[in-house]
Structures are given as C-alpha cells and as structure tokens.
Amino acid sequence: MSSNNEVPKFGLLTASTPAEAVSLLTQYGDQARIVSGGTDLLYTMKNGVTYKTPNYVVDISSLPLNYIKYDATDGLRIGATTPISAIATDPNIAQYYAVLSQAAATVAAPQIRNQATAAGDIIQDTWCWYLRNNYPCWQNGGNVCYGVLGDNRYYQSIFGGRLTFAVNPGDTPVAYFALNADVTVQGPNGTTNMPISQLLPGVAIVGGKVKENSLQHNEMVTEIHVPAPPANSVSSWYKVRARQSFDFALASAAAVLTMNGSTISAASLVLGGVDVAPHRATAAESYLVGQSLTTSTIQGAAAKAVEGATPLTTGTGNSFRVFLAQGAVSKALTLLQS
C-alpha cells in the first residue's frame, strides 16, 4: 500500500497555458493527473491510493490563474490556482461575499490554506478514510462503499447516495452554491461555462469511473465567477467540526438572504459536509421567504433544512449529524439576526 512514506516516482509535465495543460492530459490519458496546490494529490500518492497515483503529473501552479477580481457589475472572478488564504483575506470578498470569506477562513489550517487552491477545494476527492487508505471502494476502482456498513460517522452522507455515500468535503463550494456561482472549464475544444451545481452534481459516472464531479479526464476548472451580490443581501457561514480548527465539516451551513426591511425577499441556504454534493435546502428556502428572522422562524427553517434526511442506520450510523446540520443552519441564521 504505502511506499516508504514517500511520494512514488512520477514524471513532471509543465504547461504554460490551460489549453496546453489540457492537451497534455489528452495525450497522457489516464496516466496523468493535474496538480495545483498538491495538498490533496500528494497526500494520497504517499498513501499509495491506487487510482490517484498517476505516472505523470501536470503541474498547473505556474499558469497565470492566481487572481481575484471584483467589479460591482460583473461580480467576483477567482482564478483556479488562487490560494484559499487569498480568498479568506481579500477585503472585497469580506465586504460583499462574507459567506465565502468566512468559509475560506475555516478551510483546514493556515499552511494548507496558503498552498491549497480555489479550484482544488471544489474538485478535490472525498476525504473518506476508506478511500484515503486505499480501500477498493467505488471511487477507487472497486464496487462497494465501505462506509455504508462500516464507520460512517464522519464522512458519509445523511441524505443518501448512489453507489458511493462519501460526502463532498469542501467548504468554499458550499458558499459558491449559496452564491449561485458558475465555473469556466477548459476542455480540448475550448472553454465552457456551467453552474457550479453542474460541476458538482453529486455522484457522477465519468468515463466508467464513479466520481463526485462531472469533469472529464482532460478538463480543468480555470475560473470561478460569482455574480454581483443583490442589493440588501446579507450572508453568513457556520461550520461544525470535531475540533475547532484544522478539520473537515461534520456539518456546515451557508446562508444568503436578500432583505426588504426586516422581511426576507429571497433566501439561499446550502448545507455542507452532509451530502455527496453541497445540499441546497429548498424547503427551508421557501419557508424563509416572506418571514423575518426570529427565534421561531430560525428554528422552523433549521427543521425544514434537514427534512427528508436519510441518515445511515447500518454500520456505526450517522444520525447525530442530522442534529448538527440543523444546529449549523440555526447558528448561521442567528448570525444574520440584527
């Protein structure tokens, strides 16, 4: 399994444009994978995780994709290789997209945030310990989800799954969902633009492989675009972890509310760490519209947000995370109570 605790030998390929990176991926096929920050890929390569140990690595960290641009009309544009720490400390993001700024600030630890990148946080693989320790699960070329019958307390969905039940681990993607972001994807035939919910559709089968993003093997995310925030909108983030820092979410909530005085005129509410993709709480969203934020409506929305949850009852079971998700929603909305 593990090879001396070192990264196995690999060939380094560098590209000077996204198109060139994609053409290298096309040329080397399954033998090659992209590395940007490296905090996801290099870790799993050290653990010898079969499907993630490529012979060639295409390093895109030197591409000119490290930028954050804000414009009042166009909104926010974040380059794929921008470090998470830059998102967490950008003054415009803090002012106009508080939920994203706060979510970025809760990603892992300072050193990881300095290295891990914007696109990487979206398309990283699940941190389910079965996958990361090279169990032959669905996402590792096998045909079983070990979490279902095993220890599913931390990394398995409470909203069901398909083949795999492992949760999407990212924090910033939850904020991007709440902010209705879209992404630019470079493929062999140029770039396409898609809503983030299309990039993270839940369980996807791409090229015969079970994945949790819809990227083809020779595609890469180049930019994330967040529309300009509606006037009078407020947003907040709350993340529940087993320890207060340097941990994945047991449950998180991203809330974006548009206010008309004290009345909510539009609501966007997304749960993280509890489903195979960031989970939009539609029932809670419609419940909130027309209401104002009171203790009672917050409790009501939190209850609606976990309606329809189907926590696993096999293995260890993970129903406790339904309550944590409910609590996360309640906390996030309470932060917006003025």
Partner 1 sequence: MGEKDSTAKQPHSEESESTPLDSKMNRRTFLKASTISAGVIGLGGIALSTGNSTTVVQNPTENLPATSNSDPFASQTVTLNINGKSYEVSVEPRDMLNNVLRDDLGLIGTKRPCNRGECGGCTVLIDGVAYMSCTYPAYRAAGHSITTVEGYNVPSSTESQILNALQLAWVQEDGGQCSGCQPGQIMSATALLLSNPNPTLDEIKAGMSGNLCRCGNYDGIIASIQLAAQNLQGGSA
Q: For residues 23 and 15, what is the distance between their CA atoms, to the nearest angstrom?
A: 9
Which window, 36-44, 184-192, 287-295, 312-320, contacts partner 1 (CB under 8 A)?
A: 36-44
- Determine, following the binding rule CB under 8 A, whether residue 151 of this chain makes contact with partner 1: no
Longest dimension (CA), the chain: 61
- Determine, following the binding rule CB under 8 A, whether residue 81 of this chain makes contact with partner 1: yes
- Picking from 121, 153, 133, 131, the residue whose alpha carbon sits closest to that of residue 251 is 153
Query: Interface residues for partner 1 in 219-258 (CB under 8 A)?
Result: 244-246
Position among 22, 24, 259, 277 found at the interface with partner 1 (CB under 8 A): 24
Our CB check for partner 1 shows the closer of 47 and 172 to be 47
Q: For residues 221 and 184, what is the distance between their CA atoms, to the nearest angstrom?
A: 6
The angle at the Cα of 197, spanning 152 to 187, to the nearest 5 degrees, equals: 110
9 class by beta-carbon count within 10 Å (0-12 exposed, 13-18 middle, 19+ buried): exposed
Position among 17, 19, 26, 43 found at the interface with partner 1 (CB under 8 A): 43
Position among 17, 26, 50, 56 found at the interface with partner 1 (CB under 8 A): 56
Q: For residues 202 and 126, what is the distance between their CA atoms, to the nearest angstrom?
A: 12
Task: Spell out, one character per residue from 114 to 143, where the chain touches partner 1: x when CB under 8 A holds, - when not.
Answer: xx----------------------------
- Determine, following the binding rule CB under 8 A, whether residue 276 of this chain makes contact with partner 1: no
Strands 11-14 and 56-59: parallel
In this structure, what token pair is assigned to residue 137?
A: 């699960």
Our CB check for partner 1 shows the closer of 114 and 294 to be 114
Q: For residues 179 and 258, what is the distance between their CA atoms, to the nearest angstrom?
A: 11
Our CB check for partner 1 shows the closer of 114 and 292 to be 114
Helix spans in 38-151 (H): 41-46, 84-89, 91-96, 98-105, 110-115, 118-123, 129-132, 146-149
Position among 5, 73, 189, 338 found at the interface with partner 1 (CB under 8 A): 5
In this structure, what token pair is assigned to residue 335?
A: 């932060």
- Determine, following the binding rule CB under 8 A, whether residue 66 of this chain makes contact with partner 1: yes
Position among 29, 30, 111, 205 found at the interface with partner 1 (CB under 8 A): 111
Q: How far apart are CB 65 and partner 1 at their closest, in Å?
A: 10
Q: How far apart are CB 99 and partner 1 at their closest, in Å?
A: 18
* Interacting residue ranges for partner 1, rule: CB under 8 A: 4-14, 24, 38-39, 42-43, 46-47, 56-57, 59, 61-62, 66, 81, 108-112, 114-115, 244-246
